[in-house]
Chains A and B, each alone.
Chain A
C-alpha cells in the first residue's frame, strides 16, 4: 500500500527551540489516522510542514508522493485542510467562503454542500464576523468535506462543536471512510472521537513520536488492573516481572499487570486459589495519560 503521508526523522527548529525533533508519521492511503499529543507537542507544526506553509530543517517528508514545499500548489488541489483556529473574512458570508475555498481547490460538490449545511445546521448567510467559534469551524469543515479531494487534514476540527454536532462530524467521517479512497489525518484531543474513527494513530510528545499503531496494539502495551480475594498468601506474586503497584490487605490483593505478564500472574493466583476476581481493562484515558506524561 502506498503512503499518503510519509515523514521520517522530521526536525523543525524555531530559533534555538526544536519544535519537532525526529518525528515519524506514516499514514497509509485510505486510512483515518489519529494524531495525538499534549499541548505544544508539535501537531500543528507538523501539519504546517505537510502543507508547505513551513519548511523543515531536517529529515524527509513526502505528501501524496510529492514534496510538500516545492510542489505545494499542485498537491493542494488534492487535499483539503481545516485549521485548528478557523478565522473567516469578516465581510464574506459563510456560504461565500465555502464556495470560494472549494473553487480555489478546483471544484466542490454542490449536492454534498447542501447536505452538509443541512446536517450541520449552519446558516450560510451570516457574515464571517458574526459566527460563533463552533460555527466558524463548521464553515471550514463543510468547505473541506464537500471538496472532491484525496486527503483531508483536520487539526482539532471539533474543539468548538457541541456534542450533537460532534456526532454529525463522526457520521460524516465514517461515510468518508466507507468510500475507501479518502485518507484522513485527524489531530484531536478527544479520545472517544479517536477511538470511534481512527484505524491507526500516532502519539507524539515534545516533537517526537512516542507510539504508533492501532488502538488494540496500544492497549497491548498497557496494564490491566486485577483485584482478587484469595484462599491463601500469594507468595512470589509481588516480585513477578510485570506486576506493579502491588497491595495486600488480609486475603485481598490488588495490582496492575503488564499485558505480557498477565498469564503468569493469573497462573499464580490459580495456584493459591481464587474466591473472587475483578479485572479492569486498561482505559483509553490511562493509555494516553501514560504516553502524554514524560518519563513514566
Chain B
C-alpha cells in the first residue's frame, strides 16, 4: 500500500476537471427538480394524482424505479431514479481509467519502479472514486437541505447516490483485473451495469403486476439503493447491502490482483491462427474484425432492452384495465391505444439516445486507432485516408441501423398485440438524430483530433435535455438543441418527413466537413 497517498494526489491532478464536473453536476440535478415539481404540482392533491398515475406507469417505473409516496421529496427522489445509472457509469469508468488503462499504457510500470506497493494503484483508484461518490452524496444532501427538504430524507437521498458510486467502483475494480485490455474491462463492466439495470427493471415492473418476479430487484445493486425510498420509508437496511457489496467487490479485486501477473489478465491468452484467413485482405475486413465484437455486444444489449420494453408494454394496458380510476385518466389522455403508443414512442427516444452512444463510440474507434499507432500501419499501405475512415464509419452509421432494428423487432415480438411495423418505424426514425451525433464525432475527429472526446458532449447534452428538459420546463430553443427533439413521435404522432431529411442532411454535411479535415491534417496528431 506504500505510495497510495501519492497516487491519490496524482489521480486528483489528472482528473482535476472531470471529477469535480460529474460530482457537482450529478449532485445538483435533483435540487433543480424541487422547484419544478413545486411549480407543476403546487397542492398535495395534485401531487397525489400525479403520483398515482406515475407509480403504475410501466414506462416511468422502467426509467425511474418504483414510487411509493406522493410527498414532494419522494417525487423528486423518484424522478432522479435514472441518476444512479449515471453515477455508476462515472464511477466504474474512473476506476478502470486509473487501474487497467494505466497498466495497459505502461504508466503503472513507470511509477511502479518508484517506491510504490503493488496494490497501491488499485487502492488509490478505489479510495478516490469512493471519496468522490461520497462527496457527490454530500453535495446532493446539502443542495436538498438548501431547498428546505427534510433532513433524514436528504441524507438518505445522498446516501443512495454515494453508495451506487461505491458499489460500481468495486465492479470496475474487479473487471479491471480480468482482462489485459482496458477496452474489454470497460465492456464487461458496462455489461454488468446493464444486467443490474435490467434486473432492477424486471423486478420493479413485476411488482406492478402480480409481483412474482419482484425479487429480481434484490439481485441488483441499483435495486438496493432505490429501496432506501428517501423522504418516505427512509429504509436504511438496503444501504447495508450496498456497503457489504462495496467491501466484498473491493476485497475480491484485491485478491484477484495478487493472483495475476503484472500487465496480464486472469482470463488466459490463447494462441490463434498462424496466418490470416483468405478473407482478411481488405480495409473493410480489418474494420469488421475490429468492430464485430462491439456491434454484437450492442445488438444483444438492444435486443434485451427491446424484450423488456415490449414485455412491459402489456402491463401498461393491464394497469389501465385493472384500475377504473386510472382508466378514466387514461381515457382523458387519449385512450388506451394512445397510451401504449406514447409509451413506445417514449422508449424509442431513449433507445435512440443509447444508439447514439454506440455510434459515437464506434466513430471514436478511429481516434483509438490513430493514437495506438495502428492507423499508421494501415495508412502506409495502399489504403487511402478516405477508405480507412470510410470502413470505420460504415459501422458508426450502419451499426445503429442494426442495433435499432434489433430493439424494434424484439419489442414487437415481446408485445405481439402491437403493430410490429409501427413499433419498428418508431425505433428507426431515431436514425437521423443518431447520425447527427455520430457526425459531430467525425467532425471533432477530423478538425480537433486531440479533443475528440468532446464528441461525448453530444449524447450527454441530449440525455440532460431528455431527463430535465420537460421537468424543468426549459426554453424551447434549448430543447431544440437535441436532434431527438425533432424526431417524429412514432407510433402515434405525425410521421413528417421534413425533419428526418433535414437531420440527415446536417449529418452528411458534418461528416463531409470532418472527413475533409482528416484529409488535411497530420496523422498522428
What residues make up the interface of A, taking CB atoms closer than 8 Å to B? 48, 51-55, 72-74, 76-77, 79-81, 83, 85-93, 95-96, 98-101, 103-106, 123-127, 129-130, 140
Closest A residue to B384 using CB positions: A73
Give Cα distance in the complex from A248 to B524, angstroms: 57
State whether A93 touches B272 (Cβ < 8 A): yes
Closest A residue to B385 using CB positions: A72
Give Cα distance in the complex from A54 to B379, angstroms: 12
State whether A83 touches B373 (Cβ < 8 A): yes
B47 → A minimal CB distance (Å): 54
* Chief secondary structure at chain B's binding surface: loop
A48: chain B residues within 8 A (beta carbon): 522
A99: chain B residues within 8 A (beta carbon): 275-276, 280
State whether B273 touches A73 (Cβ < 8 A): no
State whether B281 touches A81 (Cβ < 8 A): no
State whether A53 touches B522 (Cβ < 8 A): yes
Closest B residue to A79 using CB positions: B380
Query: Taking the complex as formed, is B18 at the interface, i.e. its CB lies under 8 A from any CB of chain A?
Result: no
Q: Which of B4-12, B282-290, B315-323, B449-457 contacts A (4 or more CB under 8 A)?
A: B282-290
Convert B243-270 into 0s and 1s, putting 1 for each residue whose CB lies closer than 8 angstroms to a CB of A.
0000000000000000000000000011
Counting from the closest, the 4 A-B pairs by CB-CB distance are A99-B276, A104-B381, A93-B272, A95-B274
State whether A53 touches B379 (Cβ < 8 A): yes
B277 → A minimal CB distance (Å): 8
Query: Taking the complex as formed, is B180 at the interface, i.e. its CB lies under 8 A from any CB of chain A?
Result: yes
A51: chain B residues within 8 A (beta carbon): 379-380
B283: chain A residues within 8 A (beta carbon): 104
State whether B272 touches A127 (Cβ < 8 A): yes
Give Cα distance in the complex from A48 to B525, angstroms: 11
Give Cα distance in the complex from A100 to B377, angstroms: 11
Closest A residue to B265 using CB positions: A129
B380-437 contacts to A (CB < 8 Å)? 380-384
State whether A83 touches B377 (Cβ < 8 A): yes
A53: chain B residues within 8 A (beta carbon): 376, 379-380, 522-524
B281 → A minimal CB distance (Å): 4
Give Cα distance in the complex from A53 to B269, angstroms: 33
Give Cα distance in the complex from A74 to B372, angstroms: 25
Query: Taking the complex as formed, is B271 at the interface, i.e. its CB lies under 8 A from any CB of chain A?
Result: yes
Closest B residue to A129 using CB positions: B180
B339-372 contacts to A (CB < 8 Å)? 372
State whether A92 touches B289 (Cβ < 8 A): yes
Give Cα distance in the complex from A48 to B370, angstroms: 14
Closest A residue to B371 using CB positions: A87
State whether A103 touches B376 (Cβ < 8 A): no
Query: Taking the complex as formed, is B127 at the interface, i.e. its CB lies under 8 A from any CB of chain A?
Result: no
Query: Taking the complex as formed, is B374 at the interface, i.e. its CB lies under 8 A from any CB of chain A?
Result: yes
Closest B residue to A130 using CB positions: B269
Which of A48, A80, A103 has its CB near the most chain B CB atoms (within 10 A)? A103
Give Cα distance in the complex from A124 to B276, angstroms: 10
B286: chain A residues within 8 A (beta carbon): 100
Closest B residue to A50 using CB positions: B380
State whether B276 touches A126 (Cβ < 8 A): no
A141 → B minimal CB distance (Å): 13
Closest A residue to B280 using CB positions: A100
State whether A54 touches B377 (Cβ < 8 A): no
State whether A124 touches B380 (Cβ < 8 A): no
Closest B residue to A49 using CB positions: B522
- Can you list 8 contacts pairing A with B, beta carbon distance less than 8 Å? A53-B522, A53-B523, A76-B382, A83-B373, A87-B372, A87-B373, A92-B272, A127-B269
Give Cα distance in the complex from A104 to B284, angstroms: 11
Give Cα distance in the complex from A129 to B384, angstroms: 26
Which residue of B180, B280, B290, B376 is within 8 Å of A96 (Cβ)? B280
State whether B271 touches A86 (Cβ < 8 A): no
B293: chain A residues within 8 A (beta carbon): 91
Can you add 10 more A-B contacts, CB < 8 Å, to A125-B273, A126-B271? A54-B522, A87-B372, A87-B374, A91-B290, A91-B293, A93-B274, A96-B276, A100-B280, A101-B377, A130-B269
B272: chain A residues within 8 A (beta carbon): 92-93, 95-96, 125-127
Closest B residue to A73 using CB positions: B384
Which residue of A101, A106, A125 is within 8 Å of B274 (Cβ)? A125
B468: chain A residues within 8 A (beta carbon): none
Give Cα distance in the complex from A93 to B274, angstroms: 7
Which residue of A73, A92, A95, A129 is within 8 Å of B383 (Cβ)? A73
Convert B217-252 into 0s and 1s, putting 1 for each residue whose CB lies closer than 8 angstroms to a CB of A.
000000000000000000000000000000000000
A124: chain B residues within 8 A (beta carbon): 274-275
Closest A residue to B290 using CB positions: A89
